Amino acid sequence: MLSMKNISKVYQTEKVQTHALRDFNLNVDEGEFIAVTGPSGSGKTTFLNIAGMLEPFTGGDFMLDDVNVGTLSDNQRADLRNQKIGFIFQGFNLIPDLNLYENIEVPLRYRGIKSAERKRRIEECLEKVGLASRAKHLPQQLSGGQQQRVAIARALAGKPRFLLADEPTGNLDSLMARQVMELLEEINREGSTIIMVTHDSELARRAPRNIQVVDGQLADFTLYQNKAMDEIAAKAGQPAIEA
């Protein structure tokens, strides 16, 4: 359902060319839960941005559900993001002036879903993340963990094919991080495909499939090959997973 072939991303300044990704190949099947790790600056976030169509890529082919992403216009990419992808950000990215209900409503409005259906989905998602009673609260009235659960509810409300999570636990303490991870696992069990970028080795190991980005290229491992991954990382001169 997601396929990247020889994807490259070059950032060009006046004098310097930086290859953030090169010859990046990845296939993701329906229902997978993938943890993406790699050292800082290795291209994890660039990969996530391209997977989520948040920025264009320089070369290669990217197919998402049989749609060739490279040929889409800005509006078509926005619509496709809205319909197929749910985002979970490290900093939660809730809109501070909107209450929880209205925050979850944002992507649903962009899709043009009718008010009654929006209400049904928002309540269902708030219920799922355990915050049904706080729909009228503003984000700043919640703890970090609760805010991230709202962000997850927002991502889920559009019933996306993919959940892209960028360091979803990066701003949380370990207890809250675990709760968020459990929620993601539950969502994955229910059928959603999740790609999660993380620094946290413990969380990464809980994902059935681990991939590592090193110097803009992909190393693909299953959970059971983490040792080998560490060795490759060691060759690249960087710790694979920060403890």
CB 154, CB 103: distance < 8 Å: yes
Query: Which token pair is 213?
Result: 């980005």
Region binding another protein by CB under 8 A among candidate stretches 118-126, 163-171, 182-190, 214-222: 163-171
Q: How many CB atoms lie within 10 A of CB 159?
A: 11
In the shown chain, the binding pattern of residues 123 to 162 toward another protein, with x for contact by CB under 8 A and - for none, equals ---------------x---------------x---x----
Backbone phi and psi for residue 37, each to the nearest 5 degrees, phi listed first? -120, 175
Cβ closer to another protein: 44 or 229? 44
- Is residue 121 at the binding interface for another protein, with CB under 8 A as the rule? no
Among 61, 65, 79, 123, binds another protein (CB under 8 A): 79
Judged by CB under 8 A, the chain residues 45 through 64 that form the site for another protein are: 45, 48-49, 52-55
CB of 26: closest distance to another protein in angstroms? 18
How many whole angstroms separate alpha carbon 243 and alpha carbon 239?
Answer: 9
Listed in sequence order, the residues at least 6 apart from 34 whose beta carbon sits closer than 8 Å to its beta carbon are 28, 194, 195, 196, 207, 208, 209, 210, 211
Cβ closer to another protein: 111 or 189? 111
